[in-house]
Structure 1
Amino acid sequence: MKKIRAVLVDHALANGEADKEPSASVFSKITKFEEELREALPREMEAARVAFENGTAPIGNRIQESRSYPLYRFIRQDLGAVYLTGEKLKSPGEECNKVFLAINQDKIIDPMLDCLKEWDGKPLPIS
Protein backbone atom coordinates (compact mmCIF):
# COMPACT_ATOMS: atom_id res chain seq x y z
CA MET A 1 0.00 0.00 0.00
CA LYS A 2 2.84 2.39 0.78
CA LYS A 3 4.31 1.93 -2.69
CA ILE A 4 0.92 2.42 -4.36
CA ARG A 5 0.37 5.57 -2.30
CA ALA A 6 3.83 6.84 -3.23
CA VAL A 7 3.12 6.32 -6.94
CA LEU A 8 -0.21 8.14 -6.67
CA VAL A 9 1.34 11.05 -4.77
CA ASP A 10 4.23 11.29 -7.24
CA HIS A 11 1.76 11.29 -10.12
CA ALA A 12 -0.37 13.98 -8.49
CA LEU A 13 2.64 16.17 -7.78
CA ALA A 14 3.98 15.75 -11.31
CA ASN A 15 0.64 16.82 -12.75
CA GLY A 16 0.20 19.86 -10.51
CA GLU A 17 -2.58 18.32 -8.42
CA ALA A 18 -1.33 20.01 -5.24
CA ASP A 19 -2.46 23.40 -6.57
CA LYS A 20 -6.04 22.33 -7.37
CA GLU A 21 -9.11 22.47 -5.19
CA PRO A 22 -8.75 19.90 -2.35
CA SER A 23 -12.05 18.15 -3.09
CA ALA A 24 -11.03 17.49 -6.71
CA SER A 25 -7.48 16.51 -5.87
CA VAL A 26 -6.01 13.07 -6.28
CA PHE A 27 -4.89 13.39 -2.66
CA SER A 28 -8.48 13.33 -1.47
CA LYS A 29 -9.15 10.14 -3.44
CA ILE A 30 -6.17 8.11 -2.20
CA THR A 31 -7.85 7.03 1.06
CA LYS A 32 -11.02 5.97 -0.75
CA PHE A 33 -8.97 4.01 -3.29
CA GLU A 34 -7.03 2.23 -0.54
CA GLU A 35 -10.27 1.23 1.22
CA GLU A 36 -11.73 -0.16 -1.99
CA LEU A 37 -8.52 -2.03 -2.72
CA ARG A 38 -8.40 -3.58 0.77
CA GLU A 39 -11.97 -4.76 0.29
CA ALA A 40 -11.55 -6.18 -3.22
CA LEU A 41 -8.02 -7.60 -3.09
CA PRO A 42 -8.63 -10.66 -0.86
CA ARG A 43 -11.63 -11.67 -2.97
CA GLU A 44 -9.71 -11.25 -6.24
CA MET A 45 -6.66 -13.10 -4.93
CA GLU A 46 -8.77 -16.07 -3.87
CA ALA A 47 -10.53 -16.12 -7.26
CA ALA A 48 -7.15 -16.06 -9.04
CA ARG A 49 -5.82 -18.89 -6.85
CA VAL A 50 -8.89 -21.05 -7.50
CA ALA A 51 -8.73 -20.36 -11.26
CA PHE A 52 -5.06 -21.31 -11.32
CA GLU A 53 -5.63 -24.53 -9.38
CA ASN A 54 -8.56 -25.47 -11.64
CA GLY A 55 -6.51 -24.76 -14.76
CA THR A 56 -8.83 -21.96 -15.88
CA ALA A 57 -6.52 -19.01 -15.23
CA PRO A 58 -6.30 -16.54 -18.12
CA ILE A 59 -2.50 -16.77 -17.94
CA GLY A 60 -1.19 -20.28 -17.60
CA ASN A 61 1.82 -21.51 -15.69
CA ARG A 62 4.69 -20.83 -18.08
CA ILE A 63 7.23 -22.75 -16.01
CA GLN A 64 6.64 -25.79 -18.24
CA GLU A 65 8.38 -23.91 -21.05
CA SER A 66 11.43 -23.22 -18.88
CA ARG A 67 14.76 -25.04 -19.01
CA SER A 68 14.49 -25.58 -15.26
CA TYR A 69 11.08 -27.26 -15.43
CA PRO A 70 12.46 -30.73 -14.54
CA LEU A 71 13.66 -29.32 -11.19
CA TYR A 72 10.35 -27.54 -10.61
CA ARG A 73 8.43 -30.74 -11.40
CA PHE A 74 10.68 -32.78 -9.11
CA ILE A 75 10.23 -30.42 -6.16
CA ARG A 76 6.52 -29.76 -6.65
CA GLN A 77 5.25 -33.15 -7.85
CA ASP A 78 7.77 -35.79 -6.80
CA LEU A 79 8.63 -34.32 -3.39
CA GLY A 80 5.21 -32.73 -2.88
CA ALA A 81 6.72 -29.47 -1.64
CA VAL A 82 4.45 -26.42 -1.74
CA TYR A 83 5.58 -22.84 -1.42
CA LEU A 84 3.71 -19.54 -1.33
CA THR A 85 0.25 -21.03 -1.65
CA GLY A 86 -1.17 -19.40 1.47
CA GLU A 87 -3.27 -22.46 2.23
CA LYS A 88 -0.90 -24.90 3.90
CA LEU A 89 -0.17 -25.10 7.60
CA LYS A 90 3.39 -26.37 7.19
CA SER A 91 6.31 -24.07 7.79
CA PRO A 92 8.67 -23.20 4.94
CA GLY A 93 11.39 -24.99 6.92
CA GLU A 94 9.49 -28.27 6.64
CA GLU A 95 9.21 -27.81 2.88
CA CYS A 96 12.89 -26.88 2.55
CA ASN A 97 13.79 -29.97 4.57
CA LYS A 98 12.16 -32.17 1.89
CA VAL A 99 14.46 -30.66 -0.72
CA PHE A 100 17.50 -30.89 1.57
CA LEU A 101 16.85 -34.60 2.18
CA ALA A 102 16.41 -35.24 -1.54
CA ILE A 103 19.73 -33.52 -2.25
CA ASN A 104 21.46 -35.61 0.43
CA GLN A 105 19.98 -38.78 -1.06
CA ASP A 106 21.19 -37.79 -4.56
CA LYS A 107 17.62 -37.79 -5.87
CA ILE A 108 18.08 -34.38 -7.51
CA ILE A 109 20.75 -35.54 -9.98
CA ASP A 110 18.36 -36.90 -12.63
CA PRO A 111 16.18 -33.75 -12.72
CA MET A 112 19.34 -31.62 -13.00
CA LEU A 113 20.60 -33.71 -15.88
CA ASP A 114 17.18 -33.39 -17.54
CA CYS A 115 17.65 -29.62 -17.43
CA LEU A 116 20.95 -29.99 -19.29
CA LYS A 117 20.04 -32.72 -21.81
CA GLU A 118 19.56 -30.33 -24.76
CA TRP A 119 22.42 -28.02 -23.79
CA ASP A 120 25.33 -28.00 -26.24
CA GLY A 121 27.86 -26.51 -23.83
CA LYS A 122 27.63 -22.97 -25.18
CA PRO A 123 26.67 -20.11 -22.87
CA LEU A 124 22.92 -19.68 -22.74
CA PRO A 125 21.25 -16.31 -23.19
CA ILE A 126 19.99 -14.68 -20.04
CA SER A 127 16.21 -14.52 -20.17
Structure 2
Amino acid sequence: MSNKPHSFSKPKRIASGQTFTLVMRRGGCAADDCLVVFAKSNGCQTGTEIPPSRLGVTIPKKTGNAVVRNRWKRWIRESFRTQQSLMPAGYDFIVRPKKDAVGSWSRIQRSLPKLARKAVQRIKR
Protein backbone atom coordinates (compact mmCIF):
# COMPACT_ATOMS: atom_id res chain seq x y z
CA MET A 1 0.00 0.00 0.00
CA SER A 2 1.16 3.53 -0.69
CA ASN A 3 2.80 5.64 2.02
CA LYS A 4 0.97 8.72 0.81
CA PRO A 5 -1.98 9.43 3.14
CA HIS A 6 -4.19 10.88 0.39
CA SER A 7 -3.41 8.48 -2.42
CA PHE A 8 -6.05 6.59 -4.39
CA SER A 9 -4.30 3.24 -4.77
CA LYS A 10 -5.84 0.00 -6.04
CA PRO A 11 -6.83 -1.31 -2.58
CA LYS A 12 -9.08 1.76 -2.24
CA ARG A 13 -10.99 1.06 -5.47
CA ILE A 14 -13.95 -1.20 -6.14
CA ALA A 15 -13.50 -2.96 -9.46
CA SER A 16 -15.75 -6.00 -9.18
CA GLY A 17 -19.23 -5.83 -10.69
CA GLN A 18 -20.44 -8.22 -7.98
CA THR A 19 -19.30 -5.82 -5.28
CA PHE A 20 -21.06 -2.91 -7.00
CA THR A 21 -24.30 -4.90 -7.09
CA LEU A 22 -23.97 -6.06 -3.48
CA VAL A 23 -23.34 -2.56 -2.14
CA MET A 24 -26.21 -1.05 -4.13
CA ARG A 25 -28.72 -3.76 -3.17
CA ARG A 26 -27.83 -4.41 0.47
CA GLY A 27 -26.23 -1.17 1.59
CA GLY A 28 -27.55 2.10 2.89
CA CYS A 29 -28.33 4.95 0.55
CA ALA A 30 -28.32 8.72 0.84
CA ALA A 31 -28.86 11.42 -1.78
CA ASP A 32 -29.04 15.14 -2.27
CA ASP A 33 -29.57 17.27 -5.37
CA CYS A 34 -26.08 16.40 -6.70
CA LEU A 35 -25.04 12.84 -5.71
CA VAL A 36 -26.36 9.45 -4.69
CA VAL A 37 -24.12 7.46 -2.32
CA PHE A 38 -24.52 3.79 -1.43
CA ALA A 39 -22.55 2.35 1.52
CA LYS A 40 -21.92 -1.12 2.94
CA SER A 41 -19.40 -2.44 5.44
CA ASN A 42 -16.57 -4.05 3.48
CA GLY A 43 -16.06 -6.71 6.18
CA CYS A 44 -12.29 -6.88 5.63
CA GLN A 45 -11.49 -6.54 9.32
CA THR A 46 -8.12 -8.03 10.24
CA GLY A 47 -7.83 -8.09 14.01
CA THR A 48 -8.13 -4.62 15.49
CA GLU A 49 -7.08 -2.82 12.31
CA ILE A 50 -9.87 -0.94 10.52
CA PRO A 51 -9.64 -1.45 6.76
CA PRO A 52 -9.59 1.55 4.45
CA SER A 53 -12.79 2.64 2.80
CA ARG A 54 -13.11 1.85 -0.89
CA LEU A 55 -14.79 3.80 -3.69
CA GLY A 56 -16.64 2.79 -6.81
CA VAL A 57 -17.97 5.33 -9.28
CA THR A 58 -20.71 4.69 -11.80
CA ILE A 59 -21.81 7.33 -14.27
CA PRO A 60 -24.86 6.54 -16.45
CA LYS A 61 -24.69 7.41 -20.14
CA LYS A 62 -27.70 9.69 -19.69
CA THR A 63 -25.41 12.00 -17.71
CA GLY A 64 -23.78 13.22 -20.91
CA ASN A 65 -21.09 12.48 -23.43
CA ALA A 66 -17.74 10.87 -22.56
CA VAL A 67 -16.13 14.20 -21.68
CA VAL A 68 -18.86 15.02 -19.17
CA ARG A 69 -18.87 11.51 -17.65
CA ASN A 70 -15.09 11.50 -17.26
CA ARG A 71 -15.21 14.92 -15.59
CA TRP A 72 -17.74 13.60 -13.06
CA LYS A 73 -15.47 10.60 -12.37
CA ARG A 74 -12.41 12.79 -11.82
CA TRP A 75 -14.29 15.13 -9.48
CA ILE A 76 -15.73 12.28 -7.39
CA ARG A 77 -12.42 10.39 -7.14
CA GLU A 78 -10.50 13.53 -6.22
CA SER A 79 -13.07 14.49 -3.62
CA PHE A 80 -12.81 11.02 -2.06
CA ARG A 81 -9.02 11.08 -2.21
CA THR A 82 -8.64 14.46 -0.52
CA GLN A 83 -11.34 13.91 2.11
CA GLN A 84 -10.60 10.35 3.24
CA SER A 85 -10.16 11.54 6.83
CA LEU A 86 -13.78 12.78 6.82
CA MET A 87 -15.17 9.51 5.44
CA PRO A 88 -16.22 6.62 7.71
CA ALA A 89 -13.53 3.89 7.68
CA GLY A 90 -14.20 0.27 6.76
CA TYR A 91 -16.94 0.81 4.18
CA ASP A 92 -17.43 0.39 0.45
CA PHE A 93 -18.99 3.41 -1.22
CA ILE A 94 -20.64 3.52 -4.64
CA VAL A 95 -21.22 7.07 -5.90
CA ARG A 96 -23.18 8.27 -8.90
CA PRO A 97 -24.60 11.63 -9.95
CA LYS A 98 -28.25 12.32 -9.32
CA LYS A 99 -30.43 12.25 -12.43
CA ASP A 100 -30.30 15.59 -14.25
CA ALA A 101 -27.74 16.99 -11.77
CA VAL A 102 -25.34 19.66 -12.92
CA GLY A 103 -21.97 18.84 -11.42
CA SER A 104 -19.42 21.16 -9.93
CA TRP A 105 -16.29 20.47 -7.94
CA SER A 106 -17.43 22.49 -4.92
CA ARG A 107 -20.85 20.79 -4.71
CA ILE A 108 -19.27 17.34 -4.86
CA GLN A 109 -16.69 18.34 -2.21
CA ARG A 110 -19.51 19.39 0.15
CA SER A 111 -21.86 16.49 -0.60
CA LEU A 112 -19.64 13.41 -0.56
CA PRO A 113 -18.55 13.22 3.13
CA LYS A 114 -21.97 14.27 4.39
CA LEU A 115 -23.79 11.71 2.26
CA ALA A 116 -21.28 8.98 3.11
CA ARG A 117 -21.95 9.40 6.83
CA LYS A 118 -25.71 9.47 6.22
CA ALA A 119 -25.60 6.32 4.05
CA VAL A 120 -23.61 4.45 6.71
CA GLN A 121 -26.31 5.30 9.26
CA ARG A 122 -28.97 3.88 6.92
CA ILE A 123 -27.33 0.49 6.28
CA LYS A 124 -29.86 -2.33 6.47
CA ARG A 125 -29.16 -4.48 9.50
Using structure 2 for the length normalisation, give the TM-score: 0.28
State the structure with more CA Rg: 1
Larger RCO: 1 or 2 (CA < 8 Å, sep 6+): 2
Using structure 1 for the length normalisation, give the TM-score: 0.28
